[in-house]
Amino acid sequence: MSSNNKDTSARKFPDAQTVTAIKHWNDRLFSFRVTRPDSLRFRSGEFTMIGLPANDDARPLQRAYSIASPSWDDELEFYSIKVQNGPLTSRLKHIRVGDSIIVQSKPVGSLVLDALLPGKRLYMIATGTGVAPFASLIRDPELYQRFDEIILTHTCRQIEELGYSQQLIRNLPQDPLVGDDAEGKVRYYPSITQEDFSPRGRITNLMESGQLFSDLNVPALSPDTDRVMICGSLGLNKDLKVICEAAGLTEGSNSRPGSFVMEKAFAG
């Protein structure tokens, strides 16, 4: 995109930000970073609406995306799938450094620390790109003030789809703000559903069978000690809600903190 076009986008769309970095993890997944609007304040784990400027006077198409960077970061990071005929992602996957992205400055979401009661152990349960809000939270110093143990589970169909979360965990010890706190507190539990891998299977099955707790050498879910955050499909939300409630956990919200929360904005 030429500087002329960028200037035009900035005038037409005051929420337009500049792409600063892009990484294509495979032919289905990519992440990118953009400049942060001066007016944007958010809590780690929240999402906002992003989109691309339209080529004409049509209203730009926008979708909800979790902010994958922590609240203290000078830039914003997003993690996305590539949908071949997707109205937004079919165009978004072709962005380059210097292009413009519309970022709304009204973040919301359920996956925030304020929606949880105090506890000892926090499970962050993600499937696919649902790991994005946890990439934000796991780099937030406040997380380590609230919990003694953080367990990030990431379930994907194929092994190569774990690349984003693997790099997140690999880089965590070098993080300037949370590296020391994360050491010894963060545990990573990836699982795969369609290839040979250990553990293999849906995270709900691994929890119901007790394998997750056995593998990690931790007790089964307890409302006295455990808190759970969930980000995935509608089916995952429903199944995990049953599992959590059967263990005595109660669903929380921003207005009434509880022992588990789920993000419903992307479950469809």
Segment-wise mean pLDDT, segments of 10 residues, the chain, 268 residues: 46 77 96 94 95 74 93 96 87 94 92 97 97 97 97 97 98 94 95 97 97 98 98 93 98 96 74
Q: How far is CA 231 from CA 32, 111, 140, 206, 264, in A?
A: 20, 8, 18, 17, 8
| Residue type at 197 in one-letter notation | F
Three-state secondary structure readout of 127-159: EHHHHHHHHHHCCCHHHHHHCCEEEEEEEECCH
pLDDT at 83: 87
Cis bond upstream, residue 199 (ω within 30): yes
pLDDT at 13: 59
Neighbours of 219 (CB within 10 A): 11
Quickly list H helices, the chain: 3-12, 89-92, 132-137, 141-146, 163-171, 179-182, 203-208, 211-216, 234-246
- Tell how strand 29-35 and strand 16-24 pair up: antiparallel
pLDDT at 6: 47
| Residue type at 46 in one-letter notation | E
- Which domains does the chain show, CATH number per domain? 3-103 (2.40.30.10), 113-262 (3.40.50.80)
Distance CA 172, CA 181 (A): 10
Are 141 and 170 a contacting pair, CB within 8 Å? Answer: no
pLDDT at 14: 59
pLDDT at 265: 75
Distance CA 142, CA 229 (A): 16
Listing DSSP states for 81-127 in one string gives E--TT-TTHHHHTT--TT-EEEE-S--B-S-SGGGB---SEEEEEEE
pLDDT at 56: 61
Which residues have a Cβ under 8 Å from the Cβ of 222 and sit 6 or more positions away? 247, 248
pLDDT at 181: 93
DSSP structural state of residue 54? -
Distance CA 19, CA 34 (A): 4
Angle at 140 between CA 134 and CA 141, to 5 degrees: 140
Nearest to 70 by CA among 37, 31, 44: 44
pLDDT at 10: 46
Buried b (16+ CB within 10 A) or exposed e, 254-263: eeebbbbbbb
pLDDT at 55: 67
